[in-house]
Structure formats: C-alpha cells, structure tokens
Amino acid sequence: MAHRRCLHSALLHATALISLKKSPSLSIVKALTSKPNPGITTSNLEPSWFIPWSYIRHFSSRKSDDSENEAEMEESSDGEGESDEMASDMVRDYSPEEKEAEAAAIGYKVVGPLQRSDRVFKDYEPVFAVVQIGSHQFKVSNGDSIFTERLKFCEVNDKLILNKVLLLGSPTQTIIGRPILPDAAVHAVVEEHALDAKVIIFKKKRRKNYRRTKGHRQELTKLRITAIQGIEKPEIKTDGKPLKAAVKKPEKIAATA
Amino acid sequence: GDYSRLTRTITQQRIRALVLAHRDRDRDRKERDFCRLWITRINAVIRRVGISYSYSKLIHNLYKKQLLLNRKIFAQIAISNKNCIYMIS
C-alpha cells in the first residue's frame, strides 16, 4: 500500500522533472547509480512517514542542487521508486558530508573537529577582524564571544573556521579585502546553543475586538573567537596573571618564531 | 499617580506598554534607528578627512572599489580605530 503511494508520488515528480531534463544528465544518473545505494538500505525503515514530506522536499531540492538531487530523482523514475525518494529525504535530514559542506559555505563557516585536550584560548591581542556570518557582520577580536543565528551542523565544543573576512586590523597594519580576504581565517569555538530572551508579540486593533498575544524566542549560537590568522601581530609583553603568562609565553614565542 | 493605583487604568496601561514595546522593537524599527545612528556617526568622522569629503562620497567609493561588504558596522570601527578608516577612504 505504502509502496504504491510512494511510486505514484515518485512518478508525478519524475514526470515533471523529465520534462525539464536534458539528455546529458542521464549519464550523470548512471554514474551516480552506485552512490545512493547505501542510502536505500537505511531508508527502507520508515517509508510511510516520509511520503507527505517528500512533496515539500522535492520542491526545495530542485532549487538548491541541480545535478545531485535531480539525478537521484531521475533514478526513482527509472524504477527504484520509493527507496530513492527516501534517499533524497534522508540526505536532507541527516546531511552527508557534501551537504554539510555546501550549507556551511552558504551560512559561511567550516566545521573542524571537536576537541577536548587543546587549550586554544590565548590572551588578548590587539588585532581585530571584521567577519561576516550569514548577512551579519561582526568586529571581532581574540577572546570575544558573539551571538549569531543558530548555526546548523555544529554542536557544542566544535571548532569553526570563519572564511569570510572583510578587514583585518592591528595598531600597525590594516588589510582590506575586496570583498573577501582570501588567506585570512578566524577560528572560533561553539560555546553553546541558546534561546534568546522571550519577546512578547502583542497585536491589538482598538474597538475591533482583536487582540493577539504570542511569545517568541529566537535560537542563537554563542561563538567564542580564539584566533585570527592573516595579519602580523605586534608583540606585547604581558605582565599580569603570572600563571597564565608562564604558560602562554612559550606558546607565543613558538607562534611568532 | 493614578497609573499605578487604579486597576482599570493599570490594565489599560499594561496593554499599551505591550503594544508600544512591540511597535518600537519590531517592524524594522530597530534597524532604521540604528542605521540612522551609524550614518550620522560615520558622517561626522569622515568630514574630518578633508575638505568636501562626505558620507555620500565615501559610500560611492566603497561601491566602486567593491568593498561591498563593509556595512554600517563600519561606524564601530570608526570609533575605536580611526587609522583604519583613513586607510579605507
């Protein structure tokens, strides 16, 4: 029963896509036959629940990635049916590495590995960078914490590398990017995923008996900036905090040497 | 006065407070307010660079040189490190 429904919906979408399709993509389909096969075996677990979702998913996938998803869709038309639809849905939900990389580039960050043993938090250096994260720009320096929109695909204690650096500045030097600086990188660590304070949205039209109350909490991510690369840092001798200084000085010397 | 003592006025004022908070906070109000703030600040700093150098000319140059991405967060930099601003302009 469920299989029939899946096939039916698959055929509907497939016919729509075939009309848009051009011939060279068929070769891509054949090349990619091997790829979603591992996905199929895992996705057969939950066929029925994914059917209504598949409608929405396919429309969005059409806009985002042409070759990958549409190739998978075409495969479904060839006769593998429900399982390939499920594969594209699973791909969207659990995002394999390629998807993560793309979405990360759009929202603009690169996820590095988790870390436990490294101590990355250095003292304050007077260097700052202007960094863009998903249409917000921040003037950032070592040891700052920043609230950004909730970033997908990162968990707490993840290292991030922010690529879009627009400006690097220090007391002695400024480097201006047009528009981006290619060799600059800003390292950050995800501190927490948090909700904003509650905001009450209250709408009222007077004398018309209309009143609506709604609460909203925005999802945020807190990032802590650990390092800025791409500019020469002026050396400064730190006198305060003898414990940390004793540890950090050999690190600094190693970094500058 | 009565705003804190009489129940009827209290409820009215509470509703009013919510509405006004909503109106000031949402619907791009914040964006507009901050935009204006930053523009006036940038303008103030830029006019000191030289005679007949103004905010409008600065923005024009920025778009020309493909510095598309320095927004009015620019104003923050202008306050803290002025040398950078002079370099950019």
Interface test with B, best of A140, A141, A174 (most B CBs within 10 A): A174
How many domains does the structure of chain B reveal? 1
User: Can you give chain A as a three-state secondary structure string?
Assistant: CHHHHHHHHHHHHHHHHHHHCCCHHHHHHHHHHHCHHHHHHHHCCCCCCHHHHHHHHHHHHHHHCHHHHHHHHHHHHHHHCHHHHHHHHHHHHHCCHHHHHHHHHHHCCEEEEECCCCCCCCCCCCCEEEEEECCEEEEEECCCEEEEECCCCCCCCEEEEECCEEEEECCCCEEECCCCCCCCEEEEEEEEEEECCCEEEEEEECCCCEEEEEEECCEEEEEEEEEEECCCCCCCCCCCCHHHHHHHHHHHHHHHC
Task: Determine the pLDDT at residue A138.
Answer: 85
> What residue in A sits closest to B85 (Cα-Cα)?
A174
In a domain, B35, yes or no: yes
Binned at pLDDT 50, 70 and 90, residue B43 comes out as confident
In a domain, B20, yes or no: no
In a domain, B57, yes or no: yes
Between positions 66 and 85 of B, the ones with CB within 8 A of A are 66-71, 73, 76-77, 80-81, 83-84
In a domain, B80, yes or no: yes
Nearest to B73 among A139, A180, A201 (CB): A139
Nearest to B87 among A137, A174, A201 (CB): A174
Q: How many CB pairs under 8 A join A and B?
A: 59
Q: What is the pLDDT of residues A171-194, one digit of tens each?
A: 777 777 777 777 888 888 888 888
In a domain, B56, yes or no: yes
**pLDDT in tens for each of the 257 residues of chain A?**
555 555 555 455 545 445 444 444 444 444 444 444 444 444 444 444 444 444 444 444 444 444 444 444 444 344 444 444 444 444 445 556 777 777 777 777 777 777 766 666 777 777 888 888 877 888 888 888 888 888 777 778 888 888 888 777 777 777 777 777 778 888 888 888 888 888 888 888 889 999 888 888 888 888 888 888 877 776 655 544 444 444 444 445 555 54
ipTM: 0.74
In a domain, B7, yes or no: no
Q: Do B22 and A203 touch (CB under 8 A)?
A: yes
Nearest to A137 among B18, B71, B81 (CB): B71
Q: Which residues form the domain of B56?
A: 27-88
Domain of residue B52, CATH code: 1.10.1900
Does B32 touch chain A if contact means CB atoms closer than 8 Å? no
Q: What is the pLDDT of residues A12-54, one digit of tens each?
A: 554 544 544 444 444 444 444 444 444 444 444 444 444 444 4
In a domain, B17, yes or no: no
Task: Determine the pLDDT at residue A72.
Answer: 41
> What residue in B sits closest to A172 (Cα-Cα)?
B83
> What residue in B sits closest to A133 (Cα-Cα)?
B69
pTM, to two decimals: 0.56
- The distance of B18 to chain A (nearest Cα, Å) reads 6
In a domain, B37, yes or no: yes
